[in-house]
């Protein structure tokens, strides 16, 4: 067997491309934050994770420029040996202080942080990892490469059932997303920490979509739930609200020091580039000094979410700047995103396995950088699409569509 056979025979992308609806790897040729240029046309960007709209904030740009001038373009080595900048250390100090934890560690990407930390902590004699079924791929890979006793749970009821089979779980780490990235669903962290008190496990919380958005000054989902002190390790990424690239973990100093010296993804990978570290630090300082950012964010989110709900879209109960529009059919999500782009709006489809089969979404997210005019334009686009296509009328979770297999009927409707 040719090891490349799977590649040569794989045709899914070509099939979608031939329908003209291929939605991936779109080429953006410039960006102003709330708008991007695609195929020579400026469109409203409603498909980013730029939750605070800081990618083009003057302070963030100036910090990145200064770092380029002072340190050059890259660190060309791991932090362990030769790439550890005072910028990384300032970022860690201010993050630890911001989250009220003893120490912080920054990695070159969030994926690397999750993979390195979870695989290391889990890789111990007798360790048990409880992992939420919908966790991000980086946690899934961390759990897999820990090669320890792993137990998936589908919700907190399920976790509790599994915990109740024992009495003490000090050797267990519960690994979970705080905000689920496609639906915007927020985990009940009060309940999770109550379980922790009863059973004694440790918690690793991936708050990629909550940090910089929820809680006081963007301290995240745990702060919003009033349980920040109970979470052992909080993970965040700089690739979303921090308008940069990289990831971080905050927690107790000995744990962070252990990760600093042992996690393979930090010691064997080059350091976060200077301009990325400087822009993340500038973004953090803005979160701490500019309450208006959050006021504007929530005002814009409420305006847009109410608007799409009024048009009949189900938004999956999201309470975050992620506003998912339930479409159901995978190929319909592709078609609607294509037509939205033609009407001046960039939004992304989310299909299985990122969401359950038959519950494809158009994933949008709103930022304070969007103007009301831009959001009104976006609502106009979704109004036209809702008039043209059958949007599932769902009022509660029990009515969510189920499907046996992928629905390709909107790829080539003329042939159906």
Binding site for ligand PMP (CB under 6 A): 109-111, 114, 136, 138, 177, 181, 206, 208, 237, 239, 247
User: Radius of gyration of the chain from Cα atoms?
Assistant: 22
Contact yes or no for 171/127 (Cβ under 8 A): yes
> Least Å distance between CB 197 and ligand PMP?
25
Smallest gap, in angstroms, from Cβ of residue 114 to ligand PMP?
6
Between 352 and 389, name the residue whose CB sits nearer to ligand PMP: 352
Q: Are 282 and 139 in contact (CB under 8 A)?
A: no
Which residue pairs, CB below 8 angstroms and at least 24 apart, start in 52-55? 52/212, 52/213, 52/218, 52/241, 52/243, 52/283, 52/286, 52/287, 52/293, 52/297, 52/367, 52/368, 53/367, 53/368, 53/369, 53/370, 54/241, 54/242, 54/243, 54/283, 54/286, 55/31, 55/243
User: DSSP label at 216?
Assistant: G
Rounded distance, CA 78 to CA 104, Å?
A: 17
- Smaller CB distance to ligand PMP: residue 138 or 318? 138
Distance in Å, CB of 136 to ligand PMP, minimum: 4
Residue nearest ligand PMP, CB atom distance: 110
Of the pair 183, 374, the CB lying nearest ligand PMP is at: 183
List the Cα angle 80/86/92 in 5-degree steps: 80
- For 366-386, letters b (16+ CB in 10 Å) and e give bbbbbeeebbebbbebbeebb
Which of 352/408 has CB closer to ligand PMP?
Answer: 352
CB of 220 to ligand PMP, least distance (A): 12
Residue 209 vs 305, nearer CB to ligand PMP: 209
Name the residue nearer to ligand PMP (CB basis): 34 or 114: 114
CA 169/CA 120 separation, integer angstroms: 18
CB within 8 A of 144, min separation 6: which ones? 119, 150
Q: How many CA atoms lie within 13 A of 75 on its CB side?
A: 24
Nearer to ligand PMP, 180 or 304 (CB): 180
Rounded least distance, CB 235 to ligand PMP, Å: 7
Closest CA to 102 of 113, 93, 111: 93
Nearer to ligand PMP by C-beta: 237 or 348? 237
Q: Residue 249 Cβ, how far from ligand PMP at the closest point, in Å?
A: 11
- In the complex with ligand PMP, the residue whose CB is nearer, 111 or 169, is 111
Instruction: State the pairing for strand pair 35-38/28-31.
Output: antiparallel
Query: How many angstroms separate the CA atoms of 297 and 301, rounded?
Result: 6
In angstroms, the CA 41 to CA 273 distance is 31
Asked if the bond preceding 100 is cis, omega within 30° of 0, the reply is: no
Q: Strand order in 35-38's β-sheet?
A: 28-31, 35-38, 41-45, 345-346
Closest CB 111 distance from ligand PMP, rounded Å: 4
| Closer residue to ligand PMP in complex, CB, 110/215 | 110
CB of 247 to ligand PMP, least distance (A): 5
Q: Give the shortest CB-74-to-ligand PMP separation in angstroms.
A: 18
Shortest distance (Å) from residue 92 CB to ligand PMP? 16
């Amino acid at each position: 067997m040719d090891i490349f056979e799977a590649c040569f025979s794989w045709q899914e992308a070509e099939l979608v491309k031939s329908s003209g609806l291929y939605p991936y790897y779109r080429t953006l040729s410039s960006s102003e934050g709330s708008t991007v240029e695609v195929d020579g046309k400026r469109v409203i960007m409603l498909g980013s994770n730029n939750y605070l709209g800081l990618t083009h904030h003057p302070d963030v740009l100036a910090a990145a420029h200064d770092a380029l001038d002072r340190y050059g373009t890259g660190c060309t080595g791991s932090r362990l040996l030769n790439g550890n900048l005072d910028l990384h250390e300032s970022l860690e100090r201010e993050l630890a202080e911001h989250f009220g934890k003893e120490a912080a560690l920054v990695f070159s990407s969030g994926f690397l942080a999750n993979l390195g930390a979870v695989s290391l902590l889990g890789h111990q004699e007798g360790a048990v990892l409880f992992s939420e079924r919908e966790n991000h791929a980086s946690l899934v890979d961390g759990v897999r490469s820990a090669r320890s006793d792993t137990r998936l749970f589908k919700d907190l009821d399920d976790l509790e059932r599994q915990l109740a089979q024992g009495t003490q779980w000090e050797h267990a780490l519960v690994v979970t997303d705080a905000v689920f990235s496609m639906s915007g669903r927020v985990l009940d962290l009060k309940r999770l920490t109550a379980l922790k008190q009863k059973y004694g496990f440790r918690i690793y919380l991936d708050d990629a979509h909550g940090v910089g958005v929820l809680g006081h000054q963007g301290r995240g989902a745990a702060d919003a739930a009033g349980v920040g002190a109970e979470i052992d390790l909080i993970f965040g990424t700089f690739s979303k609200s921090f308008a940069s690239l990289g990831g971080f973990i905050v927690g107790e100093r000995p744990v962070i020091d252990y990760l600093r010296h042992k996690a393979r993804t930090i010691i064997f990978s080059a350091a976060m580039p200077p301009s990325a570290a400087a822009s993340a630090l500038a973004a953090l300082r803005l979160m701490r000094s500019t309450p208006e950012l959050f006021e504007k964010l929530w005002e814009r989110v409420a305006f847009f979410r109410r608007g799409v709900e009024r048009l009949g879209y189900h938004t999956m109960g999201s309470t975050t700047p992620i506003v998912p529009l339930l479409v159901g059919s995978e190929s319909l999500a592709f078609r609607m995103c294509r037509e939205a782009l033609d009407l001046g709006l960039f939004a992304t489809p989310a299909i299985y396995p990122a969401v359950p089969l038959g519950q494809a979404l158009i994933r949008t997210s709103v930022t304070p950088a969007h103007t009301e005019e831009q959001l009104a334009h976006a609502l106009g686009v979704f109004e036209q699409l809702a008039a043209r296509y059958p949007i599932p009328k769902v009022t509660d979770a029990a009515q969510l569509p189920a499907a046996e297999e992928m629905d390709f009927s909107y790829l080539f409707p003329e042939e159906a």
